[in-house]
Structure formats: structure tokens, C-alpha cells
Copies of this chain bind each other. A is one copy, B any other.
Amino acid sequence: MPIRPADLDRIRALPLFMGASPAVFRDATAGAFLQRFPAGTTLLMEGDPVDFLYVLLSGSVELQGSWKEKESTLAVLRPVSTFILAAVMLEAQALMSARTLEPSQILMLSGEALRRTARQDADFGFAVIQELAGCYRGVVRTVKAQKLRGGVERLANYLLAQCARQQNEARIILPHEKRVLASLLGMTPENLSRAFAQLSDYGVHVRGAQISFERPRALKRLARPSALIDNHAPAALHPAGKAASETWSTDTEEEGGGAQPPKAARFGVSPKFP
């Protein structure tokens, strides 16, 4: 319940609060509390009213939607990420359920306090705008991937994205269960297996959660990653030295316990549509 100074620092490092003055930061985090949840805990059900902004500090969280007994994973978040900011700002019901995939440490910030602060302080408001805009663009990327690519292509691009996140090694470790990955990519677990099998023709070897790439060129030729769909690598020219924006996308930055000030500190934020 009491928040450790180290955790406070991690929160301050979030894009949302990075530029905030001490007073604004105090206002926005008033009444905040920290909580630990075991794996598999449902934090929020689809349709619930949303009273808090959640900040994932450790562990991982799955966001999912459902309809007619079907479920689909819309995103898997890793620390440090915020989620359901949009619902908080609109005082609306949640559109997705949230549940922990691992034991997780989660900070809960009062929605009321955040809305009040955003209404009063234009700088903080602008940080919220950027966070939301980034989230929005993340989902747009997701829709594009879903509608424009086939299952194997989505998997190939996912692997390349993970590869880019994991120091571009020739060998990566899948950060989630394959069943979760399958749902995230919009296919069944069986189909994911077959998709992996198809990728063996492109030098992708699977050993449990360890994936190795033996012909990265061939894989890239198949995947054809695009800066307008995938969030990684080439990244066309940004206007200014915009630091961290546009995060969300299918999976968020990892964050052990150490300190990588520049590359860490990403969000689960997502952007609006048009």
C-alpha cells in the first residue's frame, strides 16, 4: 500500500509524468495505491465502469475482448505500461477485460484526480494527449495488420518485432504462452503451430519458447515489415527528437528491474482513430 520511492521514480519516468512539475505530479497521483496480484487475476471485466488508471510495474497483463463465448487477446502489456486511460478520461465503461498473466505489481491512480489534473494543467493534459494519440495509432496498426496480412505474415512480423526488441539477436525467447500469442495474432493455437512449421522454410527454428533465425534475410523478405504497420526498426524520419510515443502495439517494452533510462519507460497507451 505505501509506495516505495523506487516505484515512484519509475512512474515519474513514464512519458505521462515525465514533464510534470512536482505539484502536478502530486495532484495526479493523489490517493494512488500499489497492489500485488497473483497470476490469472481479473482486474477488470468488459463493461465495468472504470475508476482507476492502472500502471503495470512488474509482471504482465492481457487485455481481451469477448463476444458470444468467443474471446480474443487484444494486447499483452509488459512493464512499465499504463492501461485504460481512454475509458478513465471519458468516465466510460471498459471495452476490454484485463487479467494478469503473471504475478504482477500494479499501481492504481484515481481517475477522478487524473481528470481533474488534466483539466487544470495544460502541460499534463498535453502529455495525456500524446499518450492517447500513441495508443490510438497502435490500434490502427493492429487493424491494418489484421486486415491486410495473412496468419503466417502476421507471425513473421511479430517475430521480427520481438527480435528488434531483444537486441536483434539471432535467437529470441517468446515472452508469452503460445496460446496467448495465437489469440493475439488472431488465430487458433493449432494454426499457430502450422504457421511456425511453414516458417521453417525460411530458417525459423522452434525449440519450446526459444526461436532462432537462421536466414533472417529470407524471413524479412517474406514478412515485409512496414514502418506504417509495425513499430520497430527502420522508423522513418520523425519531425523533432520526439522521445517515446506510439507504444502499445501488440506488446510493450520489457523492463527487468535494472535501469535503462532511454529505451525503457514505454506505455500501453494507444491512439485514437482519425
Contact stretch, chosen from A5-13, A172-180, A235-243: A235-243
Asked if residues A148 and B84 are in contact (CB atoms below 8 Å), the reply is no
Number of copies of chain A assembled together: 2
Chief secondary structure at chain A's binding surface: mixed
Q: Which residues in B have their C-beta under 8 angstroms from that of A26? A: none
Contact of A85 with B272 at beta-carbon distance under 8 Å, contacts A95-B228, A147-B146 already known: yes
Q: Which of A218-267 contact B (CB under 8 A)?
A: 224, 226-229, 236, 238-240, 242, 245-246, 248, 267
Asked if residues A148 and B65 are in contact (CB atoms below 8 Å), the reply is yes
Contact stretch, chosen from A34-42, A116-124, A200-208: A116-124
Is A14 in the interface zone, CB < 8 Å from B? no
Q: Which residues in B have their C-beta under 8 angstroms from that of A126? A: 118-119, 125
The 7 closest A-B pairs by CB, nearest first: A270-B273, A135-B272, A83-B274, A125-B125, A135-B273, A132-B272, A86-B133
Q: What is the interface of chain A, defined by CB distance below 8 A to chain B?
A: 46-47, 49, 54, 63, 65-68, 70-72, 74-75, 77, 81-87, 89-93, 95-96, 118-123, 125-126, 128-144, 146-149, 186, 224, 226-229, 236, 238-240, 242, 245-246, 248, 267-274
